[in-house]
């Protein structure tokens, strides 16, 4: 986690401003210096004393206050990251058109650091062609504009337009800060990526299943990191009990067949697909319609069938220029060690990149850290030492970005 950075939190005039209070607290607890710059409308939802107490710095929206310090220029110039939440439809429009009618708008014009905007508004406003055009303009300039979450909005309304949860916003902010100056040019902007995560479960009866130990943490780290690097992310989550990453479109699945259906469809328009999920190799030929009782005689014999090889199907159907990434959890055997088995799998599968994890003895599954060797089809091998799964995710996206090249915006 990057600490000691200077973060400016711009707050737009939406009811979701109350959630940004926790975002500021999380950033401060991570060791960052935080300056809050609210709009005048934002101060109608959360007052300046609250922002000042949480940030430990003066708060105001007035362009003319402390004019001798030139705050409308200095604040943006000194920032390592500007994050705007909630980014209302009005604020997105003013930023896209370069208006400078308040302190926050001036900060956005003077900032030369990464800018991250988290929109929040009613679904109809988010879907309006004017808002979509403004978002496209900002993204083309290198601003990371997150997709809003789906859920309860103001009043009884529900839909896309909800501000992502503060913990997930903070996670994206940390990934942007971790990349330092490289984050000023989001290298996955304009790209659509699909990430699978978690572990599939193949039912034996209504209460039992064949599964694995995958927690989904590595796939979620890949999704969060891709969002921070500007990508449009579709996250296919198999039995994962983690909060949705900010900015990602999450599709929940259970079985290998369900995962295959969703991933193959999403891959049709994707620039890259990263298969980080642990997909079951086998499933019962038949699942019992009712719970199998242990006192019903001899234990049942479970006949298994092979599940679809999703990675092989993606490789066989990939479009020109599309990058396919596989994951291999290996333990080694009497024939070869875990890394050699990974090399053989890369040659067999034909994917562009293969991330090989040595598993067992508390490694990889269910942990917050990971170590791996990234193999590429052109013969490169990158040894990623044990560290946060987000660090491995950045290395994976480095390999993908190198193959994709710059996007056409």
pLDDT, tens only, 302-333? 999 999 999 999 999 999 999 999 999 887 77
10 compared with 290, residue with greater pLDDT: 10
For residue 1, pLDDT beyond 50: no
Residue 83's beta-bridge partner residues?
9, 116
Q: Measured between alpha carbons, how far is 247 from 68 in angstroms, rounded to an integer?
A: 39
Paired tokens of 378: 């052109």
333 labelled catalytic: no
Element (H, E) at 305: strand 304-306
Measured CA distances, 117 to 47, 73, 94, 178, 366 (Å): 21, 19, 13, 17, 31
Candidate list 212, 239, 333, 357, residue with the active-site label: 212
Predicted local confidence at residue 154, as pLDDT: 78
Fold match flag (6-184 vs 192-404) = yes
297 compared with 52, residue with greater pLDDT: 52
Model pTM score: 0.90
Packing angle, helices 17-29 and 166-178, rounded to 10: 50
Asked whether the beta carbons of 27 and 7 are under 8 A apart, the reply is: yes
The confidence band for 107, taking pLDDT boundaries of 50, 70 and 90, is very high
Asked whether the beta carbons of 404 and 271 are under 8 A apart, the reply is: yes
Asked whether the beta carbons of 83 and 104 are under 8 A apart, the reply is: no
Q: Measured between alpha carbons, how far is 238 from 199 in angstroms, rounded to an integer?
A: 5
Predicted local confidence at residue 256, as pLDDT: 96
* Nearest alpha-carbon partner for 81 in 100, 106, 58, 108: 108
* Nearest alpha-carbon partner for 280 in 261, 260, 299: 260
Residues 6+ apart with CB under 8 A from 221: 388, 389, 390, 392, 393
CATH architecture of the domain formed by 192-404 = 3-Layer(aba) Sandwich (3.40)
Q: How many CA atoms lie within 13 A of 38 on its CB side?
A: 27
Q: What percent of the chain has pLDDT over 70?
A: 94
Is 6-184 assigned to CATH 3.40.50.720? no
List the chain domain ranges.
6-184, 192-404
């Amino acid at each position: 986690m990057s600490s000691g950075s200077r973060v400016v939190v711009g707050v737009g005039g939406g009811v979701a401003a109350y959630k940004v209070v926790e975002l500021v607290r999380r950033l401060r607890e991570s060791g960052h210096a935080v300056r809050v710059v609210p709009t005048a409308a934002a101060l109608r939802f959360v007052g300046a004393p609250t922002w000042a107490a949480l940030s430990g710095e003066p708060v105001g929206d007035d362009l003319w206050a402390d004019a001798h310090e030139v705050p409308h220029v200095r604040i943006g110039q000194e920032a390592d990251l500007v994050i705007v939440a909630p980014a209302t439809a009005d604020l997105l429009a003013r930023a896209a058109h370069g208006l400078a009618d308040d302190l926050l708008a001036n900060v956005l014009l003077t900032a030369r650091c990464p800018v991250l905007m988290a929109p929040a508004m009613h679904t109809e406003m988010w879907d309006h062609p004017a808002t979509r055009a403004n978002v496209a303009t900002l993204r083309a300039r290198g601003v990371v504009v997150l997709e809003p979450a789906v859920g309860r909005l103001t009043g009884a309304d529900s839909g896309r337009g909800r501000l992502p949860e503060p913990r997930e916003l903070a996670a994206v902010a940390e990934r942007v800060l971790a990349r330092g100056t490289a984050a000023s040019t989001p290298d996955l902007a304009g790209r659509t990526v699909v990430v699978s995560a978690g572990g599939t479960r193949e039912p034996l009866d209504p209460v039992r299943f064949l599964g694995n130990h995958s927690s989904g943490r590595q796939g979620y780290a890949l999704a969060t990191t891709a969002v921070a690097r500007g990508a449009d992310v579709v996250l296919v989550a198999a039995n994962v009990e983690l909060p949705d990453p900010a900015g990602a479109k999450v599709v929940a699945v259970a079985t290998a067949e369900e995962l295959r259906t969703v991933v193959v469809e999403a891959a049709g328009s994707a620039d890259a697909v990263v298969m980080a999920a642990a997909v079951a190799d086998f499933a019962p030929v038949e699942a019992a319609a009712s719970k199998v009782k242990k006192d019903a005689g001899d234990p049942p014999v479970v006949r298994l069938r092979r599940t679809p090889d999703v990675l092989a199907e993606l490789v066989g159907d990939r479009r020109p220029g599309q990058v396919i990434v596989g994951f291999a959890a290996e333990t080694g055997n009497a024939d070869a060690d875990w890394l050699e088995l990974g090399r053989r799998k890369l040659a067999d599968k034909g994917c562009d990149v293969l991330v090989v994890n040595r598993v067992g003895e508390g490694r990889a599954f269910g942990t917050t850290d990971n170590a791996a060797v990234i193999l590429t089809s052109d013969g490169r091998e990158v040894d990623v030492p044990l560290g946060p799964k987000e660090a491995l995710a950045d290395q994976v996206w480095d390999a993908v970005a190198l193959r994709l090249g710059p996007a056409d915006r």
